[in-house]
Structure 1
């Protein structure tokens, strides 16, 4: 959907974000091109750009001369103009990362935790957030993004079983973190957060339509179309882990049999390892129990192939990106085992990209994506409407808070 600005004065917080979003998606880009794209005058865009430059969000560079006259200035986001904290909550621990506007991870930390109870988790959140903020004590903190196992608020799937966060029903994570930190907080599922990060910073950057598969403690996915992650009516679109693909297969805690994540997930491999050696760990399985891993991949590969063909036939994506929480070495073995892929609508002539792409970001993928939830959320035009119309509210706008370049120089 095209981004369009408004010439009404109360829409200035909205327009700032329209301009920022256009720069973020199209950089490097000139003022005149921004004005044409968003439907604002060049004068209005120039005024907004001056504000954003003073706030340190935007920087410009002269293009190479191409003829008479001064070359135009192309604009891009300043990577250090703002930061967000990404939190990744799993059934086996919590990760945190500080991420800048370019998607670079400034620092990160992982805290193993079992069981992952709400009260203990919020204690860990407070420690991790303080550590991340200390990495850039003078930096503008835009917000916090949290990636958690899905689906959202489905009684039989959200809080039951080893791939979920048991005991978290009714916990308002966003509100509690905002009250704790004073920062806007945005919460999403692991696959949707990671898919957003992949769209902005990874292999999905050049694709307008792709499906993201995430091999975590469980198994999930998300469809990205037109640059946006499709969330569904309740934020649960892409919950592929609970598609029953194996007739009369393993019983899933959700009550169905043969659900995909009972075969393709870290938890599925862990169950098979524990059946052989109760002390076995997924992290060292390739060294300690290679035969179990190989047997698991042989069992899993046909199920994963069917899932890939199903996704391609349902969504017709440009490609499918597969990534995950498991080790890169394990993910590469699983990726290789998908060949040969099954026939589907993706098997067409004239393809310019592979049907399946591997992203090896690992744990960082979700934390970068979680931070992207906050960055995209705070910079989104819709969020800007919260600060429109009243001067005292506009002053609370996160993108106008903090020291300007002149104040920093002074």
Structure 2
């Protein structure tokens, strides 16, 4: 029995390897796959036939001949199914419907006025149902859902704490799985953002990167050797609470001088509030004034950029990353932050450490977290490529 079990496991692993090879290097022939992964041609051909039958892979016609018969090229079927990614933010939630390669098919932004878990869950359910309507035809339908949360999420997908939402010990998975199935993934929004930028954005070619989610607070997702670093309790990345000013402003965590009190979107809005007499400014208001050359606003953005550089220098000195990606709302002000940020980083970081570190703003804009969250159920689904079309249709 054990031998049979081992053979089935090996076959499953090999099928996943073949599928991932096609996804990453398409278009490929069967011979190309055999050469890349080292499996014999007969085994590859058998596994490819099963992937074609399950509609995860399709043949697209002949490729270039190397002397004999032209090989048939294979493509991953990105429309075999879809996933939904949800980014729960402090003022709204962003939800995207994507194909199996992360291309956005539909998206929706919904304002949040009541942050209580029940109300937010109702809005998530409503938004997911809305995206699932008029779903493009596919053999697998929606394969799963990923959700990014601005707070601490443990290894069991339990939201332990989300201070900006006022949440403690909220079980989103239990609340959503009864209606939407078991392939639901909950993660910290910065972790999801790091995955999104690694797969689809600025970090595609980087193995070691830090994604900074800078909005009301500052969080980070840290990728080392291509994999997300989660820490011993799944809570890594709270870089917004490193102390950068010993007697600085009081932070919501109870400490003083946390990085996010000086360099976040909230810090910018709080300081800009003194410049607006009739209303509390939004980031969009600030950017509009900056574009029009308002010297006070430009000076304020320069100060925020400089404070951002202080924290970046600490990260460069400690982790020596290949790439730092700045995302979430504050990235919209990137053009006005960049010069002061990089100048401070250059002055405060060790020269050997910063020499090969590149700092960039998110290529996915404010979609990084939603797209990263959507990738989680896709990855889980494709790790089980033995599912049949009939089984998927019954469960979609």
Alignment of 1:6-405 (within 5 A): 8-10=7-9, 12-32=11-31, 34-35=33-34, 40-61=39-60, 64-139=63-138, 140-152=141-153, 158-160=161-163, 164-166=164-166, 168-277=167-276, 278-287=279-288, 290=294, 293-326=297-330, 328=332, 330-340=333-343, 341-342=345-346, 343-344=349-350, 345-348=352-355, 355-380=358-383, 384=384, 397=387, 401-402=391-392
Cα distance in 2 for residues equivalent to 1:92 and 1:269: 16
Helix, strand or coil for the counterpart of 2:94?
strand
Distance 1:243 1:23, change over 3 A: farther
Cα distance in 2 for residues equivalent to 1:34 and 1:233: 37
| Pairwise CA distance, 1:84 | 0.5
1:168-197 Cα distance to aligned partner (Å, 9 max, x none): 212111222211212510111111111111
Cα distance in 2 for residues equivalent to 1:367 and 1:402: 24
Higher mean displacement: 29-38 or 335-344: 29-38
Cα distance in 2 for residues equivalent to 1:185 and 1:99: 15
- 8 Å contact kept, 2:143–2:381: yes
Cα distance in 2 for residues equivalent to 1:325 and 1:301: 14
Higher mean displacement: 292-301 or 122-131: 292-301
Helix, strand or coil for the counterpart of 1:369?
helix
- 8 Å contact kept, 1:92–1:115: no
Helix, strand or coil for the counterpart of 1:377?
helix
| Pairwise CA distance, 1:333 | 1.6
| Pairwise CA distance, 1:235 | 2.2
- 8 Å contact kept, 1:55–1:402: no
Gaps in structure 1 of 5+ consecutive residues? 1-5, 388-393, 405-410
Cα distance in 2 for residues equivalent to 1:174 and 1:15: 31
| Pairwise CA distance, 1:363 | 2.1
Cα distance in 2 for residues equivalent to 1:108 and 1:152: 25
State how many pairs are aligned.
374
Distance 1:24 1:325, change over 3 A: farther
Cα distance in 2 for residues equivalent to 1:331 and 1:399: 46
Distance 1:286 1:196, change over 3 A: same
- 8 Å contact kept, 1:116–1:165: yes
- 8 Å contact kept, 1:91–1:115: no
| Pairwise CA distance, 1:53 | 1.8
Helix, strand or coil for the counterpart of 1:169?
strand
| Pairwise CA distance, 1:378 | 2.5
Helix, strand or coil for the counterpart of 1:8?
helix
Distance 1:159 1:210, change over 3 A: closer
Distance 1:372 1:225, change over 3 A: same
TM superposition score normalised by structure 2: 0.84
- What CA RMSD, in Å, does the superposition of the two structures yield over aligned residues? 2.9
Cα distance in 2 for residues equivalent to 1:173 and 1:126: 11
Helix, strand or coil for the counterpart of 2:169?
coil
- 8 Å contact kept, 1:324–1:331: no
TM superposition score normalised by structure 1: 0.81
1:328-365 Cα distance to aligned partner (Å, 9 max, x none): 3x2322233313232433443xx5xx721222422222
Helix, strand or coil for the counterpart of 1:336?
helix
